[in-house]
Amino acid sequence: MIYLFDSNIVLHYVRQSDLMKNIEQNFDSFGVGNESWLCVVSKGELRSIAIQNQWGKTRRQRLEELMGDFYPADIFSEETIDCYAEYNSLLICIVLQQRTIASRKMLLNAAHLGSTNVTTRKID
């Protein structure tokens, strides 16, 4: 199974929270035969969070090591950009509810990778 992690879930992994333990118990996302992906934009978001919250060296190192365990989902390909453009224009034309940028990013990357999203955000 392919899993695409959102930055909020990675923060739970850094903290070793109960949610992280639940995800690992139920999905074994880093287990044999599974692939865990992290969008390059999410990596930037996570580094920004570390800077904003003035994380110490140990916590930043834990974050970097964890991010190194993911396959990098590079969204900067023409195919992905075109997919986003089509999705976004359909969203605006058909659906009148507002979506967050993070939800769009997660859906786009999931479509591009054929993955299952791992997030605490509501994605319709």
Could you tell me the residue range of the domain that residue 18 belongs to?
Answer: 2-118
Question: With 60 as the cut, is the pLDDT of residue 100 above it?
Answer: no
Is residue 124 domain-resident? no
Question: With 80 as the cut, is the pLDDT of residue 45 above it?
Answer: yes
Q: What is the pTM of this model?
A: 0.66
Give the CATH number, domain containing residue 60: 3.40.50.1010
Is residue 123 domain-resident? no
Q: Compute φ and ψ for 56, nearest 5 degrees.
A: -75, 175
Q: Compute φ and ψ for 4, nearest 5 degrees.
A: -110, 115
Q: Compute φ and ψ for 32, nearest 5 degrees.
A: -60, 130
Is residue 111 domain-resident? yes
Is residue 54 domain-resident? yes
pLDDT tens digits for 58-80? 999 999 999 999 999 877 777 77
Answer with the residue of higher pLDDT: 29 or 122: 29
Number of domains the chain is built from: 1
Q: Which of 34-43, 55-64, 103-112 has the weakest average pLDDT?
A: 103-112
Is residue 14 domain-resident? yes
